[in-house]
Amino acid sequence: MTLPDLIIPTYVQMLGALSGWLGKAETQGSGDAIMSARLAPDMFPLATQIRFACVQAQEGVYRLRGEAFPPAVTELLDEGRNAGGHPGTIADARARIAETLALLEQVRGGMPAVDPAAPIAHALPQGMVFDLTAELFVRDWALPQFYFHLMTAYAILRAQGVELGKVDYVAHMFAYLRPGTAPGS
């Protein structure tokens, strides 16, 4: 399995789940005010968590391809950083997810194989630079950062009363369910 074969389907299935969670929030009557909800006062709001999950998915792809980030990634980052004052709507968040999913689907078949030992210099805005291999980048940064923002979004939605459960988190697994093994079947 190649690194792109690992991360792209993971991003696709979990961003799809995130969009579904937001759909449930809408269906259950959560208004757009939920986009400002936080788990703690010093944490980013839901709007930021969603945008940063999208950034992490895009960043993973661009870094593995050895490409500079396009302006759209910077715009998404800035949107996320400013979401405390301008959280946007659930529809805005779902549109950002859809844009990221479209990008992932576009590059899915055309991602070149990546040498797991290829060097990646991962620079953060504060000036820190991490020297990693592609494998370490995926294992220790790309996937953990993505899941941090994804699960924080899930926790905020749950804390705000959106009825989500484990089945919403692992909905993609039902494609593999052996017939006749579900409870009550």
DSSP assignment of 66-121: T-PPPHHHHHHHHHHHTTTT----HHHHHHHHHHHHHHHHHHHTTPPP--TT-EEE
Residue 181 belongs to some domain of the structure:
no
Residue 22 belongs to some domain of the structure:
yes
| Structural domain containing residue 46 | 3-176
Indicate yes or no: pTM above 0.85: yes
Residue 64 belongs to some domain of the structure:
yes
Residue 96 belongs to some domain of the structure:
yes
| CATH at residue 151 | 1.20.120.450
Total domains, the chain: 1
Residue 21 DSSP label = H
Q: Tens-of-pLDDT digits for all 185 residues of the chain?
A: 889 999 999 999 999 999 999 999 999 999 999 999 999 999 999 999 999 999 999 999 999 999 999 999 999 999 999 999 999 999 999 999 999 999 999 998 888 889 999 999 998 889 999 999 999 999 999 999 999 999 999 999 999 999 999 999 999 999 999 999 988 87
